[in-house]
Chains A and B, each alone.
Chain A
Amino acid sequence: MGDIFVLAEHRRGELREVSLEMLAAASSVAPQLGGKITAILLGSGVNSFAEKLAGYSDKVLYVDDPLFAEYNSEKYQLALSDLISRYQPELVMVPHTTQGVDMAPALAVELKMPFVADVAGLSFEGGKLQPVRTYYQGKINADFAFKGKPPYLITVRESSFSAGDPSKQGTVEKIASPLKEDIQYRKFVEYIEAVVGDVDISQAEILVAIGRGLREEKNLSMIEDLAKSINAVIAGSRAAIDAGWLPHDRQVGTSGKNVKPKVYIAIGISGAFQHLAGMKAAKTIIAINKDPNAPIFTVADYAIVDDLFKVVPKLTEKLKELRA
């Protein structure tokens, strides 16, 4: 009783960091739950990942089967459903990533598991585990409690826990593949790399990033002036890219690029977690937003709470003056 299952995530020969973050989260609640931590790994030729995960868990259960070479929601669901039914863990953690959200809700329905999505924190209230999540793009927090019987299922938001150092020596156990033959309904076809554009925003020293707050494409000229005055490259939030204001390779965030410039100026960007994940490592962050509660300010070094249309032109003018 009280055991925790953590589904490790990997892709194209790389164990993804979120796996270790979830194991750290599991370690933080394992004493209260009074159980052991088991990392679940599904793949092909993943021995080295199993060894690595053992440094962070009490046990690693892994499937090594060419049929699991690529992620496939239906195969993953089948394997997890089987393992959960057999081992009856108390808590199952799946990453809230494009892999995890493509599978976990279906698993929850299948096994009738109490389920909370996009968990960014774990707390205890009266001895009971309470997952914490956000609503309204980070403006509100919510505490949840599980009703009914375990196993409980959560999807865990990336970068909300910090991966620890390896401090365990878990046992590594290879288990039989739950698949005898390939499934027919959903098939992985191929990966397609992101197109490479003319500039690589991840290499830029200074980034001026725009969001939906810019309102219209024609306002870009104001941003170009600012960027020119400090030799910056222009990037954007997903909303700015979806609107067609900037090419795809300029998107900052989980589904775009991670950037780490010396200076990041966020203009009219609210700071959804998918955006923050891609830019919070910047050395200095300057945020201009008229909403004082915008989550972008949680990572900013300098906060300008005001109308961007009033501030930006003046900022450009002053910068030009001072740098002349």
Chain B
Amino acid sequence: MKMFVCIKRVPDTSEADVKIDQTGKSVDSSRFSFGINDADNYAVEEAVLIKEARGGEIKFLCIGPKDSDVVIRMSLAKGGESAVRIEDPRINQKDPLQVAKVLAAAIKREQFDLVMTGCMSADDSNMSVGVALAEELGVSHAAMVKSVEILDGKIKVKRELEGGLTEVVEMSLPAVITIQTGINVPRYAPVRGIREAQKKELKVLKLEDLGLAEEEVSEAGSRVELMKLYIPVVASNAEMIQGTPDEKAEIMAVKMVKGGLL
């Protein structure tokens, strides 16, 4: 089983103040903390579980700056043989179809059985790269996968649908699946693995190495254009509870009990 797992380094913006930079088209990321995309972390674990059960080989793929090496090495520490990082400022990362094209170019050069991506990136949340990648590679796919069973030349997956419903789908290999969070319990990288990961192969490639022309993957070559970013007008009708934490708690408790909310 030759597997590719696509991993992305993303900022943790759940508590951060997100500010738009002077270009008006990107955000100021200087103060963010970064880590592996949540869903990708589950994809890494799933690949390692498959390899442990059936043997095989895992290669990680990441488009991103040098800083991404931290998440790549962390994934290599859990398992996997090698990684490829594609770093090229000409790549338009805001277009999921172009991202998919770059990833496909890296995968196509080799033989593969299974490609995994996360089902969604936390920052861009296109939920598109994996499915577009499958089309670029000309293979079957299934999105939102919550369970994987490898059969002979085939794969049986459970897709998580709305309302907790599950759909079971069977596909022939090679295939691309997009992994949903919660599919497994991602391990922590073992200390020994972290040491070993430093010695594993991590290739850095550019467009030319992948045989891609700039206009295929650049902003100029995208079929859509990001016009502007802005902070949404928050139409909050909420009553702000003011005071110290204790005062807020007290005011709220009184409203709940005496105000008849309960």
Asked if A and B bind, the verdict is yes
Chain A interface (Cβ < 8 Å from any Cβ of B): 11, 71, 73-74, 96-99, 101-106, 108-110, 112-118, 125, 130, 134-148, 155, 184-194, 206, 212, 230, 238-239, 241-242, 244, 248-249, 251, 254-258, 262-263, 270, 284, 286-287, 290-291, 293, 297-298, 300-307, 310-312, 314-315, 317-319, 321-323
Interchain CB contact under 8 A, B164 and A102:
no
Interchain CB contact under 8 A, B131 and A118:
no
Chain B: CB-nearest residue to A232: B262
Chain B interface (Cβ < 8 Å from any Cβ of A): 13-18, 20, 27, 96-97, 100, 122-132, 134-136, 140-144, 156, 158-172, 181-182, 185, 222-232, 234-241, 245-246, 248-250, 252-258, 261-262
With a 10 A CB-CB cut-off, give which of A114, A186, A300 has the most chain B CB atoms: A186
Interchain CB contact under 8 A, A301 and B253:
no
Interchain CB contact under 8 A, A109 and B136:
yes
Subset of 13 A-B contacts with CB under 8 Å: A74-B140, A105-B100, A105-B132, A155-B128, A192-B165, A257-B163, A291-B16, A293-B17, A293-B18, A302-B252, A307-B245, A314-B249, A319-B253
Q: How far is the CA of A321 from the CA of B20 in the complex (A)?
A: 46
Chain B: CB-nearest residue to A77: B135
With a 10 A CB-CB cut-off, give which of A106, A185, A249 has the most chain B CB atoms: A106
Interchain CB contact under 8 A, A135 and B170:
no
Q: How far is the CA of A286 from the CA of B135 in the complex (A)?
A: 44
Q: How far is the CA of A286 from the CA of B249 in the complex (A)?
A: 12
Given that A101-B127, A106-B135, A306-B248 are contacting pairs, would A141 and B230 also be in contact in the complex, using a CB cutoff of 8 Å? yes
Please give, as numbers and ranges, the residues of chain B lying within 8 Å of A194 by CB-CB distance.
163-166
Dominant SS among interface residues on chain A: mixed
Chain A: CB-nearest residue to B249: A314
Chain A: CB-nearest residue to B254: A322
Please give, as numbers and ranges, the residues of chain B lying within 8 Å of A143 by CB-CB distance.
226-228, 230
Minimum Cβ distance to chain A for residue B149 (Å): 11
Interchain CB contact under 8 A, A109 and B132:
yes
Please give, as numbers and ranges, the residues of chain B lying within 8 Å of A302 by CB-CB distance.
238-239, 241, 252, 255
Q: How far is the CA of A96 from the CA of B248 in the complex (A)?
A: 39
Q: How far is the CA of A248 from the CA of B16 in the complex (A)?
A: 28
Interchain CB contact under 8 A, A147 and B224:
yes
Residue among B16, B20, B127, B135 making CB contact with A117, cutoff 8 Å: B127
Please give, as numbers and ranges, the residues of chain B lying within 8 Å of A106 by CB-CB distance.
131-132, 134-135, 141
Please give, as numbers and ranges, the residues of chain A lying within 8 Å of B230 by CB-CB distance.
140-143
Q: How far is the CA of A191 from the CA of B159 in the complex (A)?
A: 9
Minimum Cβ distance to chain B for residue A297 (Å): 5
Given that A98-B143, A192-B158, A315-B252 are contacting pairs, would A303 and B240 also be in contact in the complex, using a CB cutoff of 8 Å? yes
Given that A143-B228, A144-B225, A255-B163 are contacting pairs, would A311 and B248 also be in contact in the complex, using a CB cutoff of 8 Å? yes
Chain A: CB-nearest residue to B14: A270
Residue among B123, B237, B245 making CB contact with A311, cutoff 8 Å: B245
Please give, as numbers and ranges, the residues of chain A lying within 8 Å of B134 by CB-CB distance.
106
Minimum Cβ distance to chain A for residue B10 (Å): 10
Chain A: CB-nearest residue to B139: A185
Q: How far is the CA of A302 from the CA of B134 in the complex (A)?
A: 45
Interchain CB contact under 8 A, B164 and A115:
no
Q: How far is the CA of A137 from the CA of B15 in the complex (A)?
A: 11
Please give, as numbers and ranges, the residues of chain A lying within 8 Å of B237 by CB-CB distance.
301
Please give, as numbers and ranges, the residues of chain A lying within 8 Å of B240 by CB-CB distance.
303, 305
Given that A191-B167, A323-B257 are contacting pairs, would A112 and B235 also be in contact in the complex, using a CB cutoff of 8 Å? no
Interchain CB contact under 8 A, A297 and B227:
no
Minimum Cβ distance to chain B for residue A269 (Å): 10
Please give, as numbers and ranges, the residues of chain A lying within 8 Å of B255 by CB-CB distance.
302
Q: How far is the CA of A185 from the CA of B142 in the complex (A)?
A: 11
Interchain CB contact under 8 A, B253 and A141:
no
Please give, as numbers and ranges, the residues of chain B lying within 8 Å of A311 by CB-CB distance.
245, 248-249
Please give, as numbers and ranges, the residues of chain A lying within 8 Å of B142 by CB-CB distance.
73, 102, 186
Interchain CB contact under 8 A, B253 and A291:
no
Interchain CB contact under 8 A, A303 and B236:
yes
Please give, as numbers and ranges, the residues of chain A lying within 8 Å of B222 by CB-CB distance.
147
Q: How far is the CA of A291 from the CA of B181 in the complex (A)?
A: 24
Interchain CB contact under 8 A, B126 and A304:
no
